């Protein structure tokens, strides 16, 4: 049980990571929240997919394969940059003990979708454009799993919305910052995606927007939750975010130029 409070707002909550039990097996809020985000993402994308020449059945296939390989990718990414945390090969497979990196999941999901589109002979860039709102939804909802687990927070802050965990000094609620950042990205994407002039522009916006948020928010994290490339200076996810911003901008420029020609 964690006591999570926002002292200056007068809010105090006692939250257990466990939602309920099935027999002796605990079911965690984190899993429920992630699943909720996943289902909402599928429903939203499938509901709108035919407008953009993608069948709902394809969306469901991509979501299921993307979830499976996304989890594998998220684990591989984490393990590769935190090898010192694992004392045996068996520990690598114990994902119930924690250790998933969102960037690895996103990269694996994109690769999986690209392979699927190639096999089904679908327009890959258009499919990516159609599915991107689902990524924003899944991440906006999923970050609340960090809240119930009392994890992935920032440094100390005196701001009115500072979050205290078990009586500790208030810290930045990074889960909330990233959730709101993704929600704003979703709104902007939905407002402007019908104005795209080339397939792939929407996915470039998603990559650039998400990477921009992670570039800054990653630097605000408590060091306990940062996988460092340069110890106590530069996180691996910040490097990936910077690459993502550059790649998204370059991709958008190339796609737009080709469309004009």
Query: Which residues are bridge partners to 4 per DSSP?
Result: 13, 165
Statement: residue 96 has pLDDT above 80:
no
Statement: residue 5 has pLDDT above 90:
yes
In this predicted structure, which of 158-172, 193-207, 221-235 has the lowest mean pLDDT? Answer: 221-235
Q: At what angle do helices 174-192 and 124-142 cross, to 10 degrees?
A: 150
pLDDT at 228: 77
In this predicted structure, which of 105-114, 205-214, 216-225 has the lowest mean pLDDT? Answer: 216-225
* Residues 119-137, mean pLDDT to the nearest whole number: 96
Q: What average pLDDT does the structure give for the chain?
A: 91
Of 150, 224, 249, 51, the residue nearest 257 (C-alpha): 249
Query: Which residues are bridge partners to 228 per DSSP?
Result: 235
pLDDT at 80: 84
Instruction: Give the separation between CA 87 and CA 84, rounded to whole angstroms.
Output: 7
This prediction's pTM = 0.88
* Residues 92-116, mean pLDDT to the nearest whole number: 85
Statement: residue 232 has pLDDT above 80:
no
**Residue 237 near residue 223 (C-beta atoms within 8 A):** no
pLDDT at 14: 95
Statement: residue 239 has pLDDT above 80:
yes
Statement: residue 214 has pLDDT above 80:
yes
């Amino acid at each position: 049980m964690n006591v999570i409070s926002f002292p200056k707002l007068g809010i105090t909550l006692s939250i257990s990571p466990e939602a309920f039990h099935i027999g002796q097996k605990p079911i965690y809020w984190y899993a429920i929240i992630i699943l909720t985000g996943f289902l909402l993402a599928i429903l939203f994308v499938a509901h709108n997919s035919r407008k953009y020449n993608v069948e709902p059945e394809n969306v469901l296939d991509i979501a299921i394969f993307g979830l499976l390989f996304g989890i594998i990718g998220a684990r591989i990414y984490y393990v590769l940059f935190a090898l010192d945390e694992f004392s045996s090969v068996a520990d690598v497979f114990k994902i119930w003990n924690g250790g998933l990196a969102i960037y690895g999941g996103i990269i694996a999901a994109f690769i999986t979708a690209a392979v699927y589109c190639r096999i089904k002979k679908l327009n890959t860039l258009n499919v990516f454009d159609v599915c991107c709102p689902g990524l924003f939804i899944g991440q906006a909802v999923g970050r609340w799993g960090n809240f119930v687990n009392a994890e992935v927070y920032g440094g100390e802050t005196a701001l009115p919305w500072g979050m205290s965990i078990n009586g500790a000094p208030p810290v930045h609620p990074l889960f909330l910052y990233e959730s709101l950042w993704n929600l704003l990205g979703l709104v902007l994407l939905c407002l402007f995606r019908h104005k795209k002039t080339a397939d792939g522009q929407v996915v470039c916006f998603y990559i650039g927007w998400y990477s921009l948020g992670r570039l800054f928010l990653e630097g605000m994290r408590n060091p306990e939750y940062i996988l460092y490339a340069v110890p106590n200076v530069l996180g691996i996810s910040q490097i990936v975010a910077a690459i993502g911003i550059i790649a998204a901008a370059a991709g958008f420029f190339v796609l737009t130029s080709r469309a004009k020609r």
